[in-house]
Structure 1
Amino acid sequence: MSADRADDGTGAALLRDTVAALSERAPAVVAAAAEQMRGIRLGLSFNDGTAASLTPLRGRLVIENGRADAADVEVVFDDRAMNLLFDLQCSPVDQVLPGSLDVRGEPDQVLAAWRAFTLLAQRASGLRFVQQLWEEYRHRSPGLWGAAPGNAGDGTDVPDATGWTALDYLNRRRPAPAAEPVPDADPEGGWSAAARPRLLWNGRTGTPWWEELPLTDADLMETMRVCRDRVADEMRCLIPDQEPRRDLYDLMRDYPARQGKGLRPTLTVAACVAFGGRAQDAVRSAATLELFHNAFLVHDDIADESTHRRGLPTLHTAHGAGLAVNVGDGLNLLAVDALLSNLATLGLARTLGLIRETLHMCRESVEGQAMELGWIRHREVPDEDAAYLTMSSKKTGWYTCISPCRIGAVCAGVTDPAVLDRFDEAFRLIGIAFQIQDDVLNLVGDEALYGKEALGDLWEGKRTLMLIHLLRSVPDPEERELLRKIVLRPRQEQNEADVRLVLESMHRHRSVDHAVALADDLAVRGIAHFERDLDVVPENKGKAVLRQIAHYVTSRPL
């Protein structure tokens, strides 16, 4: 998104804010629209004088303010076109044909753009956060939504011809006069049920004109928040309220209270629902995963000598390594106990399946951690990306993505390995892409949003994809040797100037660009596997959330 923001209350600002909200909260919708556009760049002009361009980029929609110099398709909205965007008295295709908006471009590109907008209208307009944006726009621009002008020929002046066929048609075509309010039928003095126009959205509720779509979209951020909070409540119940509080149980609550996005809990619950289970059946297992996760974080921070976690000092920094190690051990013990407690609610077969899946997850994680720590211990930097991909597959692919899905499915009663394996390749690729993006955000992201120490990976000498690419791409032997010496130093011997030098070199040699491109490629491949490998799962709310998360990695701002 362009840093040059449009003024609030404009058509360009509405477009920008709508796409930004969809990218964060319903990325599968944005990805589907981008797929329809397939490289077509749109130039959009609004009657308030603002303009913007809309360009698909690897599953994203990129907005830039201002007029597009080389748009493939140009779209012009006047006031009435904005007012008719959600008018159900005729379908969108009827409005775009001989003219309620002016659209210029090659026919196949115009049709592709219109398919993208139709898809956005069908799948986005019913989402609450989109409705809220448009309601705010209506309040800021009451002139666009006031009483409809009279029909041409009723004495109302018709503006002069513009030279644009569709706009001239619009100037002649006036919406029918508004019906009078019927206070007796509506206590608020609004339209009666019989007289009310059929609007797709009136600022509060939606009334779709199309047949119900097979896909069920959800607000991903809201869904993740609900799952995260429900699982956090479960974790709080699992941590004993007894002595020794100060040096054990109170410290166990520290990292879980620093809540993250809720990705693992959401995957676990969504996979359970996708296979016909109840969401409640997956809560205890999701809490178990989060206990293991927080135990890993405590121990990882010690091994990595990290100073901050989610904006606060790490546990060992604040309380010492001894207490921190013991807290991590205690969280692991609680996780095992919570895992076994599923016997009472899910029964023996599903609990055995959960034990098997959890042990597999832990084994993959410690193997990946051994690879990463071994490179640092032995002062090695892999030569090729493949080593990083293997390590990340074990640490993040399984731990963050694959295992939560498999465990959620087991909670629903699925124990057949052939079915569970269908998650593996899609979420392995998505997990690696997610980890690469996390590594990039550590270099270029906002620390307050990212939740970890800025440039912490460079201070720790982590063997990220960018570092591996850098040390094999620097053509000058002297520069390459200098960079190698810097990154191989222990953390306590690093300094700010050298860390910044490595970062500057990564940008100069396009190592960050290489990582972003590879992450995008992995994410696209992962999404393709999702649609192909999980076709056995019927379309339902659980699968829709899984799809949103699959697309989430393509829409994160980098």
Structure 2
Amino acid sequence: METERAAALLIATVEALSSRAPAIVAAAAVELGPFTLGLHFGDGSKAALSARHSRLWATEGLPGESAVEVYFDDRGMNLLFDLARKPVDEIWAGSLDVRGEREAVLASWRCFSLLAQRGAGLRAVQALWQDWRARQPQRWGRPSTPRDVVSEAGTWPPPRHSRWSALEYLDRRSPADLAVDYNGLPMTQPAYALWDGRNSSAWWAWPTVQDNDLLETMKAFKMRVVEEILDIIPKREPAAELYDLMRAYPVREGKGLRPTLTIATCVALGGRAEEAVRAAAAIELFHNGFLIHDDIADESESRRGKPTLHAEHGVALAVNAGDGLNLFAVDAVLSNLPTLGLARTLALIHEIMHMCRETVEGQAVELGWIHRNAVPRHDADYFSMSTQKTGWYTCITPCRMGAVCAGVGAPELLDRFNAAFRAIGVAFQIQDDVLNLIGEEALYGKESLGDLLEGKRTVMMIHLFRTADPRTREAMSRINKLPRVKKGREHAEEMLAAMKRFGSIDYAIEVADKLALEGVTRFESDLSFIPDNEAKAVLRQIAHYVTTRAL
């Protein structure tokens, strides 16, 4: 995103933090509360900042009404992230001015202070602000490094040449080439403070504990687990008809959520990252096998921006490749025996078999609804089905298996993960369902409106059938009854229009937000037995990722 104007810089910063450090955004949203800020910048640009559902919303232009008016000139922007100074030293006459009622002004100050304390430590945020300054040499002077020189961190200009005292201080404290390793956990994009769920401390208070860049962390863990999967799948014949097909889904774009949960949980409980890699690979092998079979059952045409395996190679080869992935997933679990020992390996087998049973039962429930052309009346029915079909293998089992890899086998401790990550998993699935209807296909990974063409019983559909008039329900039921091959785009558009008309999408977003907040609350209470460390901070970021995810 081009950030020549300060308002665009604010928007880009909020977007970067929402994806890379969601716990920071959620905490800042709580501090801001119900107040809307009107922001005026020295370059004449303007922006609005507000909080909703644990998310921060930043848009260009002033809002219709604002509780607080904030004025920054260039000097005020320069000091915004420089918390080496006392707050009173940051406010210079005519440079940074805040106008509004006392409660609203204090809320906005707390919000900006928290963003500054924690957000400025992320390399991605530093790069945005450095680039903004570099585009305005008339204000800040030209950097001492030519524009075509790239630093080791991959950003330009390097922090040490930013001519920004706050960022240069941070770079000296945590240089870009610093290799941080916590029990084998690659702490990429280091920052400087830990959010413990209650308080945010200044950078000097936590010299070793850091907010991690969630986006970079998930990417690193996904790459490591994909590497393990490619090592597990044999490089032999029949390649074109089997083994090449088995590699197709794992190497496609994905979030890396399950590998991150598995490995971070292991490290948070005292294990080493490598001890959990095989378990994470096993979950991913099962997941991709399920996806191949799901796509066939749902008659889906695309997966992660590419044709589904059966669409490209035929149903027979796709089914066989899915079977092969499930086979090697079992082998991946068993291969932990030499490194983790008998007890932990048996516990992993127990966890993975329970996960598979929950998944196929949940799939059967959903397919049964479609087969009978039935729409459940209560949201709780969807919650139960979603927990079984995707919640266990997406959130709950990865955490439990990571704990087992670390040597935690007590059922009462393993069960502590269930409630928090059940709520987080269902919220995540509802958000995926919403994205399939109103989001960009690149964000969701499947064809747009595919869920409606497949007749999936989502919270939106349940709400629609519960609230619509009899005539609309009858029309929607006729669409659901049509087989997939007879449904056209016009049918999906008709049902989408009905969902919008009866408020079903907004209702689903509200439900997801409530579940996500429930999950975050349970995370802090149920998992208090895990000591605060870098790996638990990663788990916390994932818990908050659901609450701050853009829809």
Class of the TM-score when normalised by the shorter of the 2 chains: 0.7 to 0.9
SS of 2:391 mapped into structure 1: helix
- Report the Cα distance in structure 2 between the residues aligned to 1:379 and 1:89, rounded to whole angstroms: 63
- Report the Cα distance in structure 1 between the residues aligned to 2:234 and 2:37, rounded to whole angstroms: 57
CA displacement at 1:93 relative to structure 2:
4.4
**1:552 aligns to what?**
545
C-alpha contact 1:132 1:203 (8 A) present in aligned 2: no
1:420 equivalent to 2:414? Answer: yes
- Report the Cα distance in structure 2 between the residues aligned to 1:206 and 1:102, rounded to whole angstroms: 31
1:481 equivalent to 2:474? Answer: yes
Q: Which has the larger radius of gyration?
A: 1
SS of 2:70 mapped into structure 1: strand
CA displacement at 1:58 relative to structure 2:
1.0
- Report the Cα distance in structure 1 between the residues aligned to 2:378 and 2:435, rounded to whole angstroms: 22
**2:107 aligns to what?**
112
- Report the Cα distance in structure 1 between the residues aligned to 2:172 and 2:536, rounded to whole angstroms: 23
Q: Deviations over 1:344-395 (max 9, x none)?
A: 1111111111111111111111111110011111221111111111101112
SS of 1:201 mapped into structure 2: helix
CA displacement at 1:200 relative to structure 2:
2.5
- Report the Cα distance in structure 2 between the residues aligned to 1:202 and 1:93, rounded to whole angstroms: 22
**2:58 aligns to what?**
63
203, 211, 219: which is aligned to 2:204? 211
158, 165, 178: which is aligned to 1:199? 165
SS of 2:415 mapped into structure 1: helix
- Report the Cα distance in structure 2 between the residues aligned to 1:421 and 1:435, rounded to whole angstroms: 21
Residue type matched to 1:481 in 2? E
- 1:328-347 matches, within 5 Å, as 328-347=322-341
1:543 equivalent to 2:509? Answer: no
1:305 equivalent to 2:271? Answer: no
Residue type matched to 1:542 in 2? A
- Report the Cα distance in structure 1 between the residues aligned to 2:136 and 2:512, rounded to whole angstroms: 41
- Report the Cα distance in structure 2 between the residues aligned to 1:143 and 1:204, rounded to whole angstroms: 25
**2:524 aligns to what?**
531
More off after superposition, 302-311 vs 338-347: 302-311
Q: Deviations over 1:408-467 (max 9, x none)?
A: 111111111111111111110000010001111111111133211111111111111111
SS of 1:218 mapped into structure 2: coil
380, 402, 405: which is aligned to 1:408? 402
SS of 1:354 mapped into structure 2: helix
1:380 equivalent to 2:346? Answer: no
Change (3 A) 1:87 1:451: closer
C-alpha contact 2:81 2:166 (8 A) present in aligned 1: yes
- Report the Cα distance in structure 2 between the residues aligned to 1:12 and 1:98, rounded to whole angstroms: 22
**1:129 aligns to what?**
124
1:14 equivalent to 2:9? Answer: yes
**1:154 aligns to what?**
none
Q: TM-score, normalised by structure 2?
A: 0.88
State the identity %. 58
Residue type matched to 1:338 in 2? A
Residue type matched to 1:242 in 2? R
C-alpha contact 2:25 2:55 (8 A) present in aligned 1: yes
Change (3 A) 1:409 1:98: farther
C-alpha contact 2:387 2:425 (8 A) present in aligned 1: yes
Residue type matched to 2:380 in 1? A
- Report the Cα distance in structure 1 between the residues aligned to 2:84 and 2:20, rounded to whole angstroms: 29
1:28 equivalent to 2:48? Answer: no
CA displacement at 1:552 relative to structure 2:
1.0
C-alpha contact 2:210 2:534 (8 A) present in aligned 1: yes
1:47 equivalent to 2:42? Answer: yes
CA displacement at 1:313 relative to structure 2:
1.8
Aligned residues: CA RMSD: 2.1
CA displacement at 1:499 relative to structure 2:
1.7
1:368 equivalent to 2:334? Answer: no
C-alpha contact 2:3 2:131 (8 A) present in aligned 1: no
466, 486, 498: which is aligned to 1:493? 486
More off after superposition, 314-323 vs 423-432: 314-323
SS of 2:236 mapped into structure 1: coil
C-alpha contact 2:71 2:95 (8 A) present in aligned 1: no
- Report the Cα distance in structure 1 between the residues aligned to 2:380 and 2:303, rounded to whole angstroms: 28
CA displacement at 1:87 relative to structure 2:
3.8
C-alpha contact 1:131 1:204 (8 A) present in aligned 2: no
- Report the Cα distance in structure 1 between the residues aligned to 2:525 and 2:94, rounded to whole angstroms: 40
**1:516 aligns to what?**
509
396, 402, 423: which is aligned to 1:429? 423
- Report the Cα distance in structure 2 between the residues aligned to 1:511 and 1:41, rounded to whole angstroms: 27
**2:79 aligns to what?**
84
483, 494, 497: which is aligned to 1:504? 497
- Report the Cα distance in structure 2 between the residues aligned to 1:104 and 1:430, rounded to whole angstroms: 38
- Report the Cα distance in structure 1 between the residues aligned to 2:246 and 2:380, rounded to whole angstroms: 36
C-alpha contact 2:373 2:477 (8 A) present in aligned 1: no
- Report the Cα distance in structure 1 between the residues aligned to 2:441 and 2:513, rounded to whole angstroms: 22
More off after superposition, 485-494 vs 520-529: 485-494
Change (3 A) 1:89 1:127: closer
**1:279 aligns to what?**
273
- 1:257-268 matches, within 5 Å, as 257-268=251-262
Q: Deviations over 1:305-345 (max 9, x none)?
A: 11211122212222222222211111111011110000011
- Report the Cα distance in structure 2 between the residues aligned to 1:371 and 1:478, rounded to whole angstroms: 27
Q: Deviations over 1:8-49 (max 9, x none)?
A: 311111111111110111111100111111112111111111
1:228 equivalent to 2:194? Answer: no
Change (3 A) 1:539 1:13: same
- Report the Cα distance in structure 2 between the residues aligned to 1:433 and 1:89, rounded to whole angstroms: 39
Residue type matched to 1:133 in 2? L
**1:467 aligns to what?**
461
C-alpha contact 1:292 1:332 (8 A) present in aligned 2: yes
Q: Deviations over 1:91-118 (max 9, x none)?
A: 2344249885211122222222211111
CA displacement at 1:547 relative to structure 2:
0.8
SS of 1:500 mapped into structure 2: helix
- Report the Cα distance in structure 1 between the residues aligned to 2:227 and 2:164, rounded to whole angstroms: 43
CA displacement at 1:145 relative to structure 2:
2.8
Q: Deviations over 1:175-195 (max 9, x none)?
A: xxxxxxxxxxxxxxxxxx9xx
Change (3 A) 1:538 1:501: same
- Report the Cα distance in structure 2 between the residues aligned to 1:85 and 1:341, rounded to whole angstroms: 52
SS of 1:536 mapped into structure 2: coil
Q: Deviations over 1:458-512 (max 9, x none)?
A: 111111111111112112x222211111112111121222221111111111111
- Report the Cα distance in structure 2 between the residues aligned to 1:100 and 1:91, rounded to whole angstroms: 16
Change (3 A) 1:133 1:330: same
C-alpha contact 2:278 2:336 (8 A) present in aligned 1: yes
More off after superposition, 501-510 vs 138-147: 138-147
